[in-house]
């Protein structure tokens, strides 16, 4: 069993700032963390490895400081970590990002062997698009299960998985052939405390570097310049005023509500 987990280092959402001219996030001076949804993806991959054997590899695309997030993944039990980092990726939208990560994953498969399970968080908290994982799965042309909340069954001999996902109408259980791609919800599992040997190994394990020098990349599909989607405008929403609470008898409440709504009703008429 080989699981490959796509992770992202994101700015702490409570301290995020926006460059209103470019519509991009200002990361300088903002504490960075491992995307919470990806933490649960790593946790699930490690649990599967502990049950079935095999290995867990993690990959992240980002600047050199993203190694901190990868180190955290290693401390959670991942076996190997790769950082895909190149100036050519700066400003990439989700389409360009999914392309770069796809090519990085292909390189990992070349180095580490075939992958049975691909994992990612359902979305990154700095963009909330939920597009990158599905974009990678589409490029691999493999089954995609989004919003995973339970891995019901795994059979690596017969190469299938049974998984339950959230939908806007409730839950859905699917049987999919392997390899498959899963984007996960935080409710999938509870994060474990890292044992001391894993913490020591994380500190000692080298983060492998990938870039345009050792990964086959089409630069015409990378970076801000070649991203088909652009942020037209970024702004802080106006703070909503707290609603008024009406008290009194039923008759009094009807009268008060009528007084409030009457100007709007006359306007429509």
Confirm if 226 and 217 have CB atoms less than 8 A apart: no
Look up the CATH number of the domain holding residue 173.
Answer: 3.40.50.620
138 C-beta neighbours (distance < 10 Å), count: 13
Structure token digits, residue 141: 């042309």
Is 62 within the bounds of a domain? Answer: yes
Q: What is the pLDDT of residues 195-247, one digit of tens each?
A: 888 898 898 888 999 988 888 887 778 877 778 777 776 666 676 777 788 88
Q: What per-residue confidence (pLDDT) applies to 236?
A: 64
pLDDT at 17: 67
Any domain includes 159: yes
Residue 140 lies in a domain: yes
Whether 228 maps to a domain, the answer reads no
pLDDT in tens, 136-187: 999 999 999 999 999 999 999 999 999 999 998 999 999 999 999 999 999 9
Token digits of residue 130: 């939920």
List the structure tokens of 224. Answer: 């801000």
| Position 129 pLDDT exceeds 60 | yes
Q: Are 208 and 79 in contact (CB under 8 A)?
A: no
What local confidence, expressed as pLDDT, does residue 208 receive? Answer: 92
**Integer Cα distance of 139 and 123 in angstroms:** 18
Residue range(s) defining the domain that contains residue 68: 2-221
pLDDT digits (tens, 9 = 90+) for 74-110: 999 999 999 998 887 877 788 888 899 999 999 999 9
| Position 54 in a domain | yes
Q: Is residue 155 part of a domain?
A: yes
pTM of the model: 0.79
Number of domains observed in the structure of the chain: 1
Residue 20 pLDDT exceeds 80: no
Find the mean pLDDT for residues 42-66.
Answer: 94
Residue 119 has pLDDT above 90, yes or no: yes
């Amino acid at each position: 069993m080989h699981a490959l987990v796509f992770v992202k280092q994101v700015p702490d959402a409570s301290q995020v700032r926006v460059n209103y001219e470019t519509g991009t996030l200002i990361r300088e001076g903002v504490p960075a963390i491992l995307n919470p949804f990806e933490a649960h993806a790593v946790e699930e991959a490690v649990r599967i490895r502990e049950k079935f054997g095999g290995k867990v590899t993690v990959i992240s695309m980002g600047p050199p400081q993203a190694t901190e997030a990868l180190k955290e993944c290693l401390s959670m039990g991942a076996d190997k970590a790769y950082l895909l980092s190149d100036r050519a990726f700066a400003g990439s939208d989700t389409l360009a990002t999914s392309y770069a990560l796809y090519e990085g994953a292909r390189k990992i498969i070349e180095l580490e062997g075939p992958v049975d399970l691909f994992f990612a968080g359902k979305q990154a908290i700095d963009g909330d698009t939920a597009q990158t994982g599905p974009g990678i799965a589409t490029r691999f042309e493999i089954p995609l299960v989004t919003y995973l909340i339970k891995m019901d069954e795994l059979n690596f001999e017969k190469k299938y998985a049974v998984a339950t996902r959230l939908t806007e109408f409730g839950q859905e259980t699917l049987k999919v052939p392997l390899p498959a791609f899963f984007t996960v919800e935080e409710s999938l599992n509870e994060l474990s405390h890292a044992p001391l040997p894993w913490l020591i190994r994380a500190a000692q394990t080298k983060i492998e570097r990938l870039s345009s020098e050792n990964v086959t990349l089409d630069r015409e599909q990378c970076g801000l310049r070649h991203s088909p989607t652009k942020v037209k405008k970024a702004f802080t929403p106006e703070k909503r005023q707290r609603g008024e609470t009406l008290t009194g008898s039923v008759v009094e409440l009807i009268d008060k509500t009528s007084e409030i709504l009457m100007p709007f009703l006359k306007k429509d008429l």
